[in-house]
Amino acid sequence: MSIVVSCEHGGNLVPDAYRDAFASCPPGLLESHRGWDPGAAEAARAIAERLGARLFVAEHTRLLVDLNRSESHPRLFSEYTRTLPRDERMRILAEYYRPYRDAVEREILDAAARGGRVLHVSSHSFVPVLHGVQRRAQAALLYDPRRPGEAAFAAAWRTALRELAPREWVIRRNYPYRGSADGFTTHLRRRLGDDAYVGVELEINQELVGGAGWAGHVRVLADALSAALPRWKKGG
């Protein structure tokens, strides 16, 4: 089995060519969850290192173009880039969106062609409170419940997390978003069946990120995934 780890919102860099487009960006916005997913890249790197997996991390802000959206999605571009001339938006797709997406997809398709399943973990994080609503989970796993392989893997990872994570952690599935919604894993499911591709998004509550216990939390996420793999393989 091949393992690929990706992080579509791993950085908040603005390319020099588009700094003028972000001139009206309020202070702190790029550092907030609007600009990137804090902690997601660190978790992705830890998981990839723990499993010896191929790693892909995007470093440019999601406000330039959202790598976890399909090209037809209305929020592919943010308010800072969607009003750019069409040729500029096409340039962003050609220089920042497609190279990343194509590289990850090519790695997964090539691995599938060699035989066996490909496990793809896409690392993300979420804010503790959104629009006044408290998100009641420390970690969550997003998958398509119609795909038995993904459901079984998510269940195995969640069980391992419950064993290794602090007792107060709440670990949920398909929360705070649906795993079958528009996203990179959803796109890849259209390319490969359940027997070849298992795509799961890890969602980490940003209240865990950067504090005194953050390094330990990252280890827990990676160790739990490693512990889940043999159980999942044994159970099919």
Residue type, 78: S
Phi, psi of 105 (to 5 degrees): -65, -40
Residue 236 pLDDT: 55
Q: Give strand pairing partners of 199.
A: 120
- With contact defined as beta carbons under 8 Å apart, do 96 and 60 qualify? yes
Residue 211 pLDDT: 87
Closest CA to 42 of 206, 228, 230: 206
Q: Flag residues of the chain having pLDDT under 70.
A: 234-236
Residue 234 pLDDT: 67
Domains in the chain (CATH in brackets) are 2-235 (3.40.630.40)
Using the Cα atoms of residue 154, residue 159, residue 4 and residue 98 in order, give the sign of their dihedral: positive
Q: pTM of the entire structure?
A: 0.96
The torsion of the CA quartet 99, 103, 104, 108, rounded to 10 degrees, works out to: 150
Helix (H) or strand (E) holding 122: strand 118-126
Q: How far apart are CA 136 and CA 225, in angstroms?
A: 21
